[in-house]
A and B are shown apart, each in its own frame.
Chain A
Amino acid sequence: MSKIWTRMGDGSPVELTPAELRQDLEDGSADAADRGGVPGLNEDDFKYLEELFARRDRFVGVDVGNEVVLTYDGAALKFKRHCLFEERLHVLTMYEKMFGADTVELGHVDYSYKPVKPIVNYEQGTLEMGLLTTHSPLIYGAMPNLGLYTRPDGPCPNPMELLPQGKIKEARAAYEDMVEEAVRDMVFVVGSMYESGADGFNLDTVGASGDADVLAAFLALEKLRAKYPDIAVEVGMAGEFILGMHGELQYDGQRLAGLYPHQQVKLAEKAGAVIFGPVVNTNTDQTIPWNLARTVVFIRACSKAASIPVHANMGMGVGAVPVTDFPPVDVLSRASKALVELCDLDGL
């Protein structure tokens, strides 16, 4: 029987027998179902994925009619990574006109709200110019990035230095102080950019510093919705479950640490998010079929639980996309198609 060519989570090519493929799909599904306490894949799902991986197409896409909306993270900054020094507004028009983008996103090179604070007027000017020339919804994006609030970059002691010394109470207090600082900065920057006319906002990579990072995003969002009832904010997560760096922080009476996407989305809705971006991490020791089955289980549960649009994160190392700088289109396009079609997604 012919083997099925696919890849590992780090992008390395691998060949599987049909039985091995099926086993990986079942194992990936079972792992997510067990961790998340959510339903695994059914027989129809397994057949869909088996056929998807057995196809020899280099590139696949969703069936006509199943297309979804795309939002981005740090889109305008990605040129810089390639040493392409295009002006940001020019990049937005390239995304809009050349890359088939449904939305465009402006962001500062640091891609964190804190460093934008002192230069927000310049960012406002840039945004206002962009709004004159683009056509698509223009989103402003950055990360809460609580790490920037610890010494030497910020005013708070570093919990990652306190915790190893057993100073748990002090570390938790530091996280709580960081939340206050970050909320203030996010409300200031997002509010300023909203008043300049931005169509939407991306609070991106939420949870990168653990549960305090998530709490800061939700509290900032609450304040922003209270002040600007029409504001549209997308909350994009950092990882599949919320890391309990503090461990006891709560939002709306629920402990944040340990929540999986289907639980996170309900709190994001409560805080006032208009779009939710769940993350499922790619395991590089496993195959892409294993990762994709696992991702579908988590994201489908999230999509089913959601009342707002769900745009799954699908970039390097998340959403069953391999951990490699230039993910190959064979597995990338398969993940893209499967996630949209099996999870009833609203966007990516």
Chain B
Amino acid sequence: MGMAIAHAQASGMGGMRTAGDLVARVQLAKGCRIREAKAYVAEKLGTSVMDLVDPVVMGEVRADKGLGTMMPLAHTPKGIECKFNIARELDVKINCLGNFLGKTGLGGGE
């Protein structure tokens, strides 16, 4: 655990505090390297690449676009609700969303 915290502070993008989870998602979905992944996310969100690790800027962007925030207020997207917004904003496939739509009868299928 201590190791995870130390690396997150020394080298990590910041996870949900910034856009770390979004860049990670693009890396996984597209298999692209860090520069391309960051550039892709910045372009889709309409930010600069440097903004992606800024918790002030990204806190606002995430709140505005419903991508999930560290302290989610009432009536704001949480959990899988945010994933639908992330898939749309980043134009990436998120595996579990198809299952969700199928199980709820809202569309798609498992």
Contact = CB atoms under 8 A, between A and B. Distances in A.
Interface in B1-23: 1-17, 20-21, 23
Contact of A71 (B5, B6, B24, B95): B24
Contacts of B68: 135
A267 interface: no
B39 to A, nearest CB: 12
B13 A132 contact: no
B80 A69 contact: no
Contacts of A69: 12-13, 20, 23-24, 27, 34, 37
A141 to B, nearest CB: 13
A310 to B, nearest CB: 8
B1 A82 contact: yes
A131 B96 CA distance: 7
Interface in A287-336: 306, 308-309, 314-316, 321, 326-327, 329, 332-333, 336
A308 B53 contact: no
Contacts of A348: 7, 11-12
B99 interface: yes
Interface stretch (A59-67, A152-160, A216-224, A236-244): A59-67
Nearest to B55: A100
Contact of B53 (A65, A136, A332): A65
Interface residues of B, number: 51
A211 interface: no
Interface in A222-240: 230, 232
B24 A346 contact: no
Nearest to B14: A100
Nearest to A69: B24
Contacts of B95: 194, 197-199, 230
A246 B5 CA distance: 38
B31 A72 contact: no
Contact of B10 (A60, A136, A200): A60
| Residue from B8, B67, B95, B99 with most neighbouring chain A CB atoms (10 Å) | B95
Interface in A38-58: none
Residue among B24, B79, B94, B99 facing the most chain A CB atoms (10 A cut-off): B24
Contact of B2 (A71, A194, A326): A326
B54 to A, nearest CB: 9
A100 B21 contact: no
Contacts of B100: 197
Contacts of A176: none
Interface stretch (A2-10, A28-36, A91-99, A256-264): A91-99
A126 to B, nearest CB: 13
B50 interface: yes
A309 B28 CA distance: 9
A232 B28 contact: yes
B16 A96 contact: yes
Given A96-B21, A131-B96, 10 more contacts: A60-B10, A65-B53, A99-B5, A101-B4, A101-B8, A101-B15, A128-B99, A135-B82, A136-B15, A197-B98
Nearest 5 CB-CB pairings of A with B: A197-B96, A102-B20, A100-B8, A136-B21, A135-B68
29 contacts: A59-B9, A60-B10, A61-B9, A67-B53, A68-B12, A97-B16, A100-B14, A101-B20, A102-B20, A102-B23, A102-B24, A128-B99, A132-B79, A133-B79, A135-B67, A135-B79, A196-B96, A197-B100, A199-B96, A230-B29, A306-B33, A327-B2, A332-B6, A333-B6, A333-B9, A337-B11, A346-B27, A348-B7, A348-B11
Interface of A: 59-62, 64-72, 75, 78-79, 82, 95-97, 99-103, 128, 131-137, 139, 194-200, 230, 232, 274-275, 306, 308-309, 314-316, 321, 326-327, 329, 332-333, 336-337, 340, 345-348
